[in-house]
Amino acid sequence: MTAHTDLIARRNATIGPYSPLFYAEPLHFVSARGVWLTEANGERYLDGYNNVPHVGHANERVVAALCAQAGTLNIHTRYLNERVIDYSERLLATFAPELDRVLYGNSGSEANELALRISRQLTGSTGVIVSDYSYHGTTIALAELTTGLRTREPLGAHVRSIRIPDLDADPRPEADVLSETLADIDAAIVSLHDAGYGVAASLFDPLFSTEGMPRVPSGLLAGIADRVRAAGGLVIADEVQSGFGRTGTHMWGHEYAGMRPDIVTLGKPMGNGHPMSGVVTSEAVLDAFGSRNEFFNTFAGNPVSAAVGEAVLLEMEEHDLMARARSLGETARARFDAFVEQYDVVRSAKSAGMFLGLDFAIDGVPDPVAARRVVEEMKRRNVLISRIGRDESVLKVRPPLAFGPDELPILLDALAASLDAATVPPGH
Ligand SMILES: Cc1ncc(COP(=O)(O)O)c(C=O)c1O
C-alpha cells in the first residue's frame, strides 16, 4: 500500500499501466509555482528536472497572456492575426538571418514529422541518419527511427544509426574518435545510396540529451552536417530539449554545437506547458515545400499559443534567464567536478549551461543502480531529478530556467547528501 494506491489503481483501469511513472513510490502533485511543486500531502519539492515549465511553473505573465488572449480571440491561421505575426518576428529574430521562416505545430513529434516530410519532398530521397540511442517523437515515421526507447516498430529499412562517442569514456585521442564517427557517417551515406533510399536528412539533438550528454569531439556535428549536405540531404537540428537558452551561452543548441542546420525543430519549453512547437527554416526551403502543399494545421499557430510563446520570450529577456543559466551552470559544474574527484563511482560530469549530468561507472562499466539510488535519495530530500543515457547511468539535472541562486545550493547540498547515502558500501 502506498499513499496513492487508489489513484494508481484508477489510473491503471483507465489510461493503463504502461505509461511510465517516476519513482518506486510515485509522486502526486496538486500544484506548482516557480520551481517548487506541492504534493497531495502538502510537501514541497524542488524541481531539478522539468524543462517544459521553462520560465517557471504557473508563471504569472504566461498565465495572464494565455487567459487574456483566450478571452479575446482564439482562431486558426486562415484569418489575419497580428499577434501570431508579432510572435513569429520575435521568435525568428533569435535565429541566424538565414533561418527566417517558421511553421507551427502542437508537439515536438509534429515538428519532427513535418521536418522529415519537408526533407523527403525537397530531396526526393527517404534515407535518414540518426544516433543509435535517440528519441524524436511518437508518429509512425519517428517510431521507425527511434533507437532510444522501446517501440514495436522495427528500425525502418531507410534508417541508419550511428554511435555518438563520449570522450569521457573513450581514452583514444579526440581526432581519432572524430574521424571514426565521421567514417561511420560516410558508411551510412554509402549504404543508403546503395540501397536506393538516398539521403533525405540527418536528425540529431545537438546536446545528445537522450544519449546521456556524451562529450563529443569538437566539430562533430559540423562534420556530420557537411557530409549529409554533400550527399544531398537536409540537416535537421532537433532543439526540443536543447533550445531556448538552455545552454547558457547560446539561444540554440546548434549554435552551441557550432553547426548550421537547414531546419530546426522546437517544442517543450516553447509554450511553458501550453502545447506548441515550431519548424524553423529558410525562405528557400519554405518556398519549395509551401508551393507544393496546402499545409494547414488547425490548432497550430493560433493567437493563444502566440501570446503564450511571446510571454515566454519576454520573461526570458526580462530576467536574463540565459545568462542566469550560464552563471548557475558554471557554479553547478564546479561542484559536479568535485563529485567526480570525491566518489569513485562517478566517472564524469556533463553539462551545457543548466543541463547537467553525472555519469556513474565502476571500472569502466556503467552503474545504473547507483544512479537510480541517487535519484531516489534526492526524492527523499524533496528534489526532483532523473536519469538518461543508454544504460540509464547518467543523472539528468535539467531544471526550469527560472531556477535561481537561492535554489541551486539546495539542489547541490541534497545531491552531496544523496551521493553519500547512495554510495555507502554494503554492510555499513
Ligand atoms: C529530443 C526530443 N525530440 C522530440 C520529442 C518529442 O516531443 P513531444 O513529446 O512534444 O512530441 C522529445 C520528447 O521527449 C524529445 O526529447
Q: 3-class secondary structure for 308-332?
A: HHHHHHHHHHHCCHHHHHHHHHHHH
Residues 6+ apart with CB under 8 A from 334: none
Question: How far, in Å, are 30, 295, 339 from residue 120 at the CA level?
Answer: 44, 15, 46
Q: Could you tell me the fold of the domain covering 60-318? A: Aspartate Aminotransferase; domain 2 (3.40.640)
Amino acid at the residue 164: I
Category of 363 on φ-ψ map: left (φ > 0), alpha (ψ -120 to 50) or beta: left
Cell numbers for 339: 563529485
Kindly state if the Cβ of 203 falls inside 6 Å of ligand 1: no
> CB-based burial of residue 428 (10 Å sphere; 0-12 exposed, 13-18 middle, 19+ buried)?
exposed
> What is the Å distance from ligand 1's center to 413 Cα?
30
| Residue labelled with grid coordinates 501570431 | 84
The pLDDT value given to residue 425: 63
The pLDDT value given to residue 428: 56
| Whole-angstrom distance, CA of residue 126 vs CA of residue 200 | 5
The pLDDT value given to residue 313: 98
Mean pLDDT of residues grouped by 10 in the chain (428 residues)? 86 94 95 98 98 98 98 96 98 98 98 98 98 97 96 96 97 98 98 98 98 97 98 98 98 98 98 98 98 96 98 98 98 98 97 98 96 98 97 98 97 98 72
Residues 43, 46, 47, CA angle at the centre, nearest 5°?
Answer: 125
Atom of ligand 1 nearest to the CA of 268: 10
> What is the Å distance from ligand 1's center to 25 Cα?
25
Strand 128-131: give its sheet, edge to edge.
101-105, 277-281, 263-266, 234-238, 201-204, 128-131, 159-162
Cell numbers for 353: 549551461
Q: What count of other Cβ atoms lies within 10 Å of the Cβ of residue 172? A: 11
Question: How far, in Å, are 57, 270, 273, 366 from residue 52 at the CA level?
Answer: 9, 8, 6, 28
Question: How far, in Å, are 339, 358, 371, 381, 411 from residue 335 at the CA level?
Answer: 6, 11, 17, 18, 11
Is the CB of residue 393 less than 8 Å from the CB of residue 366? yes
Atom of ligand 1 nearest to the CA of 110: 11
Kindly state if the Cβ of 112 falls inside 6 Å of ligand 1: yes
Nearest CA-CA partner of 346 in 379, 390, 335, 354: 335
Q: Could you tell me the fold of the domain covering 5-55+321-422? A: Aspartate Aminotransferase, domain 1 (3.90.1150)
| Residue labelled with grid coordinates 551521493 | 419
Is the CB of residue 322 less than 8 Å from the CB of residue 248? yes
| Whole-angstrom distance, CA of residue 83 vs CA of residue 419 | 48
Alpha helices, DSSP H, located in 126-218: 140-143, 174-194
> What is the Å distance from ligand 1's center to 168 Cα?
26
The residue whose CB lies within 8 Å of the most ligand 1 atoms, and thus the one to mutate among 50, 52, 54, 109, is: 109
Domain ranges of the chain: 5-55+321-422, 60-318
> What is the Å distance from ligand 1's center to 343 Cα?
33
Nearest CA-CA partner of 373 in 346, 399, 405: 346
| Residue labelled with grid coordinates 526524492 | 379
| Whole-angstrom distance, CA of residue 171 vs CA of residue 27 | 40
SS3 283: helix
| Whole-angstrom distance, CA of residue 311 vs CA of residue 317 | 10
Amino acid at the residue 68: A
Q: How, if at all, do strands 159-162 and 128-131 pair?
A: parallel
The pLDDT value given to residue 324: 98
Kindly state if the Cβ of 374 falls inside 6 Å of ligand 1: no
Fold agreement between 5-55+321-422 and 60-318: no
